[in-house]
Structure 1
C-alpha cells in the first residue's frame, strides 16, 4: 500500500462512514479498483482508520458526552446486539468482506429501500404528546441496536441500518442520524480493537515481538489515514445532518442504485473487481 492508496481510502472512509451508503462497501470497491493487495495489514488499515472518523463525532458533539449516565447506558444497550452477532458470525462476516458482488447487490437493494423511506416514515417532528422525539428510550435503543446488526453484511451500511431503526422508533431524522453517530463510536472502536488483537496474535504466532508489530512505514500510513479520515468525516457529518433533515434520504437511494448497478454491469462484463 502506497501513501496515495492510504490517502484515497481514508478520504473514502471519511466521506462515507456516516452517510447511508456503506463505507465498508466503498472501501472494498476502492481497494479492488486500485488493485491494493489484500494483505493482513491492508485489512487492518481499513478498520483502524475508522478511529479517525469516529473522533470527529466526539469533536462535533462534545457537549453531548457530558450528559447523564443514562446516555452511556443506552448506547451500551444498543451496542450489545452487534457484539453478540459479530462474535457468533465472525467467520462468515470475514468471508463476505472480500465479496464485491455482495456489496453490489446490497447497495442496489438498500438504494431501493431509501427511495421509499421518506414515504414510510414522513418527517416526525413530534410524538403524540406534541413534543419532539429526540431521545430514544431503553426499548427504542435496543431496537436500533438490533437494526445495526444488519450492517454486518458489507454494502448494507451501518449508518443506514441504525438511522432506519431510529425512524421506526419515531425519532426525528436528525435525532436518528445523531444516535447513529453516537452508536458508531463503541461499535467501530470495538471492531478496531478486535482486529488489532487478532493482528497481534497472528504476528506473535510468527515469533514477532510487540515492538515489531508495525514497520515505521506502516505507522506513518496509519497516522495519515486516521488524520485524513477525521478531517473529511468532520465535514461530512456537518453537511449530512443538515441535508437529511431538510431533504430526506431519496438522493442517497438514487446514488446507491446507480453505484450498485454500475458494479453489477462491470461484473457482468468480467471487469476484474477483486482485491488481489
Structure 2
C-alpha cells in the first residue's frame, strides 16, 4: 500500500512537471530520493521515463483535432496544414533523435545525478529570466506554427537535443530556443507539446526495450498506475500553462527552477554528510 501511494505521488509530479518548464527529471529525482519506493533501481529508472506516456496521451486528447489530419471536420486546406505541421515536428525532432539514439545511455550515466541536474535547473532558470527581460515589450515575430521556417525548426530542434541532459527540461529547452528567435509564448508552448509526441514515445520505447519487458505483475501495475495518474494531472497542467502564459511571462518558472536547483544541491550535500 505504501508503494502504491508513492507511485501515485510520482505520477502527480510527472503530470505537473512534464509540461511546465521546470524539469520533470529534477522533481522525480528529488521526490524519489525522499520517498524511496521499495522497487529496484533499474525499474525506477525505467518508470521515470515510461510514465511520460500518460503525459503524452494528455496532449493527444487535448489537441486531437489539431493533430488529426484525417478529421472530416477539416477542409482540404486545413488537412494540408496539419500534414505540414507534422512535417515540421519531424524536422525539429531529428537532432534529438540522432543524438538520443547514439548517446542517451552515455548522457544518463554522466548527468543523471542530483548535482548535474541541479546545475541545469539553475542555468535554464537564469536563461528564462534574461530572455524575458530582453524581450519585454517586444512583439513576437512568429505567432503560428505554420510560420516556422526550416532554419527555425532546426534551431528549436537543437535546443530539444540539449534537453537530453537531465535537469534541462525538454519543454523548458525548446521554449527557450523558440523565444530566442521571436516565437510567441503560446506558439512556443504549443509546438513544444507537439514535439514531445515522437520524442517521448521514442524515449519510452527505448527504456522499455532496455528493461526487457520483464515486469512482475506488481511492477506492471505500478507502471500503469503511474501512467494513468500522469495522464489525468497532465490535462490540468497543460490547460493551466496555456491560460497562464496568455497573461504572464515565464520568469516565475525561472525563479522556481533556481530555487529547486539550490534545494537539490542542499539535499545532496546533506546526504553526503549523513553518509
After TM superposition, the score normalised by the length of structure 2 is: 0.87
1:125 to partner: Cα distance? 4.3
Among candidates 84, 87, 94, match of residue 108 of structure 2: 94
Q: Corresponding residue for 1:74?
A: 88
| Alignment pair present for 1:31 and 2:45 | no
Give the Cα–Cα distance (whole angstroms) in 2 for the partners of residues 27 and 169 of structure 1.
31
Residues 189-236 of structure 1: per-residue CA shift (max 9 Å, x gap): 000111111112xxxxxxxxx7xx222212211111111000000000
Contact 1:100–1:273 under 8 Å retained in 2? no
Among candidates 119, 133, 136, match of residue 133 of structure 2: 119
Give the Cα–Cα distance (whole angstroms) in 2 for the partners of residues 94 and 132 of structure 1.
35
Deviates more, 1:11-20 or 1:102-111: 102-111
1:271 to partner: Cα distance? 5.7
Q: Corresponding residue for 2:123?
A: 109
Cα 1:214–1:120, aligned 2, differ >3 Å: closer, same or farther?
Answer: same
Residues 137-181 of structure 1: per-residue CA shift (max 9 Å, x gap): 222112111111111111111101101111223211100000000
Deviates more, 1:52-61 or 1:110-119: 110-119
Contact 2:114–2:265 under 8 Å retained in 1? no
Among candidates 45, 48, 51, match of residue 47 of structure 2: 45
Contact 1:124–1:172 under 8 Å retained in 2? no
Residues 66-115 of structure 1: per-residue CA shift (max 9 Å, x gap): 34321111111011100111122223222145410111111122211112
Q: Corresponding residue for 2:222?
A: 221
Among candidates 89, 92, 98, match of residue 84 of structure 1: 98
Residues 16-67 of structure 1: per-residue CA shift (max 9 Å, x gap): 0011110111111211121245522211111111000011111111111134
Q: Corresponding residue for 2:165?
A: 153
Among candidates 173, 176, 180, match of residue 185 of structure 2: 173
Give the Cα–Cα distance (whole angstroms) in 2 for the partners of residues 272 and 182 of structure 1.
43
Give the Cα–Cα distance (whole angstroms) in 2 for the partners of residues 47 and 273 of structure 1.
29
Q: Corresponding residue for 2:246?
A: 245
State the secondary structure of the residue aligned to 2:166: coil
| Alignment pair present for 1:65 and 2:79 | no
Q: Which runs of 5+ in 1 are unaligned?
A: 201-209
Cα 1:272–1:49, aligned 2, differ >3 Å: closer, same or farther?
Answer: farther
Cα 1:190–1:64, aligned 2, differ >3 Å: closer, same or farther?
Answer: same
Q: Corresponding residue for 1:186?
A: 198
Q: Which runs of 5+ in 2 are unaligned?
A: 69-78
State the secondary structure of the residue aligned to 1:46: helix
Equivalent residue pairs, number:
260
Give the Cα–Cα distance (whole angstroms) in 2 for the partners of residues 273 and 175 of structure 1.
46
State the secondary structure of the residue aligned to 1:31: helix
Contact 1:124–1:173 under 8 Å retained in 2? no
Contact 2:124–2:173 under 8 Å retained in 1? no
State the secondary structure of the residue aligned to 2:168: coil
Cα 1:76–1:149, aligned 2, differ >3 Å: closer, same or farther?
Answer: same
For the aligned residue pairs, the C-alpha RMSD in angstroms reads 2.2
State the secondary structure of the residue aligned to 1:171: coil
